[in-house]
Amino acid sequence: MAGTRRPARDGRSPQAHLQRAEHWHGLRRGDPVEIVGVAGRSLRWRFLAHVRNERNGAESVEVVGGRPGEQRIRSFRPEQVFAVGTRRRGGPSLAEAPQLPLA
C-alpha cells in the first residue's frame, strides 16, 4: 500500500534513531529565530525542535512559519539559525554561540 510505513527491522519505529529536543542552546519551542540563507521578505520563524540522527550524527533544527499566515515546517542546519537580531549585527549562529538558558 502506498503511504504506509513498515516498522524497523529491530521492532522500533522507523524514526526511533531521531532524537528530538524542544530545548536547544537557550531556545524553547515557540521562540522566534532568524534563518540565514532563505530568500524572502517578512519571513517569520519559530523554533520547534533540535533533531539529532543517532545513526549518522547529522543535526538539524526544525522551525515553523514563513510568510505572514503560513505555518510551514522546515528543517535547517544549526549554523543557519540565529537568535532574533544577532544576524544583522554580525553575531554568531546559535550553533556557534549558545545563548544563556531562558528563565
Q: What phi, psi does 6 have (nearest 5°)? A: -95, 150
Q: What is the pTM of this model?
A: 0.74
What is the structure's pLDDT at 88? 62
What is the structure's pLDDT at 90? 67
pLDDT average, residue stretch 83-99: 72
Q: Which amino acid is at 95?
A: A
C-alpha cell read off for 92? 554568531
Residue that wins the pLDDT comparison between 76 and 4: 76
pLDDT per residue over 30-88, tens digit each?
Answer: 999 999 988 888 899 999 999 999 999 999 999 999 999 999 999 999 999 988 876 66
Residue 51 pairs with which residues in a beta bridge?
A: 20, 60
What is the structure's pLDDT at 95? 77
Give the span between the Cα atoms of 55 and 92, in whole angstroms.
28
What are the percentages of helix, strand and coil residues in the chain, rounded to 5?
5, 35, 60
Place of cell 531556545: 27
SS3 at position 79:
helix
Contact 72, 90 (CB under 8 A): no
